Amino acid sequence: MRLQGKIALISGGARGMGAVEARLFAKEGAKVTIGDVLEDEGRKLEAEINATGGEALFVRLDVTHEADWQKAVEATVNRFGKLDVLVNNAGISGRGRVEDTTVEEWDRVMDVNAKGVFLGTKVAIPAMRQGGGGSIINISSQLGLVGTDHSSPQYQASKGAVRLLTKATAIQYAQEGIRANSVHPGPIVTPMTEAARADPERYRLMLSRVPLGCYGQPEDVAYGVLYLASDEARWVTGSELVIDGGWTAQ
């Protein structure tokens, strides 16, 4: 198994891509902490993984609160003994143009998508250092690499921030054996994209941007995250793994 003996914490792990990552990590031998504000869904996933032979722990985690991160990391180390992998997966979206965006909406998205990744990284590093190293995987977006006319400025800015925070982390902590990489998914079938997929015009627009001609599935991203979490990626840090059906190749 590719993650045998590893301990992982996944934010936004109760549903969507995070839940698929949690199931895959457990299948590949990792013990997994599921962090999310969605308590019912998180506890159901915890029970599911434990009932099928894995080991999982749910913790309530609001990624915008440093104290929540501290509790989540402490709970992980107390339960499983260490922390090897952090997946900063939690995120929210937005729509609108620059001039139509309120300060409140800008702050809301930046708080979750950018500050949440910063806080998770900041709190996880001491635990990883104590364990001799680790892998931090930050979920950005293809829109952290290129702009577009149908997503909000705050979403794109937040995902660009994740990309460069990842590189700063990689450089600053490489000598301690802590790797950091960003993942850049294109349109994926998740609850977050449900509204866009239900709108025929937006759906056709999205597909027109994807050379492979379809939305990706959460598993398409999860296997990339699995690789970066594993020792197979031991010489990979500061990199961008693009999983976007060809969106950014155009």
Which are the catalytic amino acids?
A: 155
Euclidean distance between CA atoms 148 and 10, whole angstroms: 28
SS3 per residue for the chain: CCCCCCEEEEECCCCHHHHHHHHHHHHCCCEEEEEECCHHHHHHHHHHHHHCCCEEEEEECCCCCHHHHHHHHHHHHHHHCCCCEEEECCCCCCCCCHHHCCHHHHHHHHHHHHHHHHHHHHHHHHHHHHHCCEEEEEECCHHHCCCCCCCCHHHHHHHHHHHHHHHHHHHHHHHHCEEEEEEEECCECCHHHHHHHHCHHHHHHHHHCCCCCCCECHHHHHHHHHHHHCHHHCCCCCCEEEECCCHHHC
Of 186, 222, 240, 243, residue with least CA distance to 85? 222
Question: Residue 184: what are its φ and ψ, rounded to 5°?
Answer: -125, 85
